Amino acid sequence: MTLPHRPAACRYTSAARHAARGVALLGLCFALPAAAKEGGAEALLERFDRFPHSETVDQSTQIVRDHVIGLGAMQKVRGDWRLEESERLSGELSRYTWRIVDGFTARSLLEDAAAEAEALPDSELLYTCEGRSCGRSVQWANRVFQQRVLYGTESSQRYRVYALRAEGREQRLVLYASERSSDRQYLHMELLSAQDRATVAP
């Protein structure tokens, strides 16, 4: 989804641009708690999908079986890249990948999403990593998420996994942010509503 061209009269000066970013993020932060409270993680994803400073790269919802969720860093074992720890879940998987534009950063939006996830009822942080401790970004992009646009610098990547168990449901919320440059910022989110569960050995 490409944002419409902004007419010259609406282009910002540098100072005005910074102010506009603050207002937009402030609006997002105030809107997210209400959305999350009313609709849980689903509403959180929908709100981010409507964020005016993001462009949708990919979006899908499908039924999956034995979908792998990373609970550890990417590491090379006997010549093969694999997750240090993971689990497999079956159920309905919603996936979003956005390019963050207009000077906003994927990192700041991930931090906003993480704060809202932690505020959800019965939320538990299962795994988090930042920078090089996550492993190779190219492996996360291609092997884990199958989204090559997520390949960025190792130092820029951020990853979070939350277990959500409100109202008797078992869900996983996955957040990943990366950047290639200041104007190539990407944010990826996944929400899996599980039907059954099988933990994968490291």
**What pLDDT does 38 receive?**
59
pLDDT at 5 over 70: no
Average pLDDT over residues 186-194: 97
Q: What pLDDT is attached to residue 115? A: 95
Q: What percent of the chain has pLDDT over 70?
A: 78
Average pLDDT, stretch 35-59?
86
Predicted local confidence at residue 79, as pLDDT: 76
* Sign of torsion over alpha carbons 179, 180, 184, 188: negative
Confidence of residue 17 (pLDDT cuts 50, 70, 90): very low
Give 118's contacts (C-beta < 8 A, 6+ positions apart): 125, 162
| Res. 13 pLDDT band, cuts 50 70 90 | very low
Among 15-29, 103-117, 120-134, the minimum mean pLDDT is found in 15-29
Residue 24 reports pLDDT greater than 90:
no
Q: How confident is the model at residue 42 (pLDDT cuts 50, 70, 90)?
A: very high
Task: Give CA–CA dist 131/113, Å, rounded.
Answer: 18
CA angle 57, 110, 103 (to 5 degrees): 65
- Determine the distance from the C-alpha atom of residue 184 to the mean position of all C-alpha atoms in its chain, rounded to a whole number: 15
Q: If you average pLDDT over each of 21-30, 34-43, 74-83, 147-156, which comes out highest?
A: 147-156
For the chain, counts of helices (H) and of strands (E):
3, 8
Say what the pLDDT of residue 58 is: 96
Task: Taking residues 112-137, report their average pLDDT.
Answer: 95
Identify the band that residue 195 occupies on the pLDDT scale cut at 50, 70 and 90. Answer: confident
